[in-house]
Amino acid sequence: MADVGGPKERKEEEEEDDVVCLDPSFFMNREYEMTTFTYGSQVLHLLCSSSASSLLDYDLTGQLVWPGAVLMNTYLSEHPETVKGRSIIELGSGIGITGILCSRFCKEVVLTDHNDEVLEIIKKNIELQSSSENAEAVLTAEKLEWGNNDHISNIMKEHPVGFDLIVGADIYLSFQLFYFCCCYFQF
């Protein structure tokens, strides 16, 4: 007859059986809806979520459109000369609404976010724009975690002349971000 261990060993095994591990995807909302946004004469069709997943360490606030982006896009649609013909990098792009609007007037837009799940949404929204007759710019998505030298180096390698403008709506501005911008972008 096999030895099944003493009472202490059996109790530890029972406790291990009670542990429930959930896959990180359990906390993510991947139910994106095609949503229409209108800014002046510009109509954008983008995938976004009606609510952001944000539990534990899963910062997916970029899954939806925040008020600062609405204000910035309203301004840009009324003043397209602000970005006309320029190259732009957008920090914290979320679903890409501001960068995609800018692409209607610019020559190049690089949309960035630090979250891989949000980057997937950006890439899907970029694909949706490829069939649009309104897109003037080259649109790309890049991973960028502020202060991550590898991410910054990759972007600068792909865009060695830099960018004419840095845009960002509803992003957390800190000294670290200001320092990052001053160190890595030419003004």
Query: DSSP labels for 27-90?
Result: G-----EEEEEEETTEEEEEEE-SS---STT---GGGS--HHHHHHHHHHHH-GGGTTT-EEEE
The residue count of the chain comes to 187
- Dig out the tokens for 187 from the structure: 């003004």
Query: Quick check: helix, strand or coil at residue 143?
Result: strand
- Dig out the tokens for 89 from the structure: 């990098």
Of residues 64 and 60, the one with the higher pLDDT is 64
Residue 146 DSSP symbol: T
Contact 137, 143 (CB under 8 A): no
Of residues 186 and 48, the one with the higher pLDDT is 48
- Tens digits of residue pLDDT in 168-187: 988 765 556 666 666 656 55
Q: Is the pLDDT of residue 87 over 90?
A: yes
Using the Cα atoms of residue 154, residue 158, residue 164 and residue 167 in order, give the sign of their dihedral.
negative
C-alpha 51/C-alpha 33 separation (Å) is: 11
pLDDT, residue 149, reads: 92
pLDDT, residue 74, reads: 96
Query: Quick check: helix, strand or coil at residue 113?
Result: strand
Is 0.85 topped by the overall pTM?
no
Q: Is the pLDDT of residue 111 over 90?
A: yes
- Tens digits of residue pLDDT in 132-142: 666 678 999 99
pLDDT, residue 56, reads: 43
Of residues 26 and 92, the one with the higher pLDDT is 92
Among 6-20, 84-98, 103-117, the least confident range: 6-20
The residue-averaged pLDDT of 112-127 equals 93
| Mean pLDDT taken over the chain | 81
Phi, psi angles (nearest 5°) of residue 114 = -90, -15
